[in-house]
Chain A
Amino acid sequence: MTILTEKAFSEIVEAHTDAALTLARYILRSREDAEDAVQETFIKVYRHYHQYDATRSLKNWILAIAVNTCRDLMRKRKGTGRTDPLESERVADPSAGREQTEAALLVREVLGRLSADHRTALLLFYMEGNSVKEMAKILKVPQVVVKVRLYRARKAAQKILIEE
């Protein structure tokens, strides 16, 4: 059993918080929710570190936990009737127009209209640069399912792009 020391844990937090937060942010479309999810993710990392298989990538293991935590959070907050934060951010954030390119705005627009599964698949593939095999490990589904999900996500995104 691997015991996680405080120092080792802080190193892990420093190295992987940004990636987990970015993924959670785009899946949940809210900074606040994403921070909650990341906090929960690292608590899980701390508690279940002994279950970590050292042959696997630590980053992917943490991202897998983050994805599952985001799913749980979305399930919990399904009935709360939250507004789409990405939509509101575009208007509310005055610095967004300056910093973000047109492409980034387009991406946000499309991601905001995709389902959570499709959004997660596209983010893991294009943003994180994972292969289908790695995605299958992160999402704990067969590779075929990942391929199908990616195909459907692309189709849905294209449909939205045509409508734009």
Chain B
Amino acid sequence: MTDLKNKWEQFEKGLASLPRERASEALKSRIYESARAQSRVAPRRFLSLRPAVAILVFALMALTAAAAMVAVKVRASLKASAVHKVLPQSRPAEPVAAPVPVEPVPAPVEPVGPASENRSEKKLSSMGTDVHPPVTLPGQSDSLSAAGEKRPPTGVRAGEKAERQEEKDIRKQELMEKRIEKMEREKERRGRETNR
């Protein structure tokens, strides 16, 4: 029993006087390095932002995206409505000019067709005041050009743009053909009058 008591006392003394460890400089520098590495990783604080702030930021981003989409759609619809206003589906018939006694036209009648469009146009324009040059309806050419010729289409989806352009081209083509037909009829009428 006394032996155990002695041993225990010895043990307690030994515990109290255990040799202290001394940290080496290498260990301390390792600790500093790790701490510096931790501070370098500090930007991840952004990730630990409060959820409310994160949600707010996300909502703002979503709102901005939605507003941008709405703006694009509105612009597209406005453009489409402008085109319909300028080019109505049922165009009023062109007023036929009253027969005017004029000098005989020496030029032969050109064949009418899509291939000869350019030539006949050229011819007509070279006729001077004898024949009316291709007449445009009041405000028509302006509106046409305003509708799509001068302004490049922007902000509309590519498919819609292409379709609209195609429609415009077809309308222009039809208009041109009508004009040429009219000019031809005019020429024939004049020829008949001259013969008479």
Contact = CB atoms under 8 A, between A and B. Distances in A.
Given A22-B20, A162-B4, A123 B15 contact: yes
Interface residues of B, number: 26
A127 B15 CA distance: 6
A39 B34 CA distance: 8
B78 interface: no
A44 B152 CA distance: 63
A10 interface: yes
A162 to B, nearest CB: 6
A47 B30 CA distance: 16
B34 A43 contact: yes
A38 B20 CA distance: 14
A29 to B, nearest CB: 12
Given A17-B23, A22-B20, A162-B4, A107 B15 contact: yes
B14 interface: yes
Contacts of B16: 126-127, 129
> SS class of chain A's interface: helix, strand, loop or mixed?
helix
B10 A106 contact: yes
> SS class of chain B's interface: helix, strand, loop or mixed?
helix
Interface in A62-115: 99-104, 106-107, 110
B39 to A, nearest CB: 8
Contacts of B15: 107, 122-123, 126-127
Contacts of B35: 6, 9, 42-43, 46
Contacts of B12: 126
A13 B27 CA distance: 10
A34 interface: yes
B43 to A, nearest CB: 14
Nearest to B9: A103
Contacts of B20: 18-19, 22
B162 to A, nearest CB: 60
Interface in A12-34: 13-14, 17-19, 21-22, 25-26, 31, 34
Contacts of B18: 22, 26, 104, 107, 123, 127
A17 B25 CA distance: 11
A104 B14 contact: yes
A54 B30 CA distance: 26
Q: Closest 6 CB pairs between A and B?
A: A103-B14, A126-B15, A107-B14, A17-B23, A22-B21, A21-B21
8 contacts: A19-B20, A21-B21, A39-B34, A43-B34, A102-B10, A103-B11, A107-B14, A158-B8
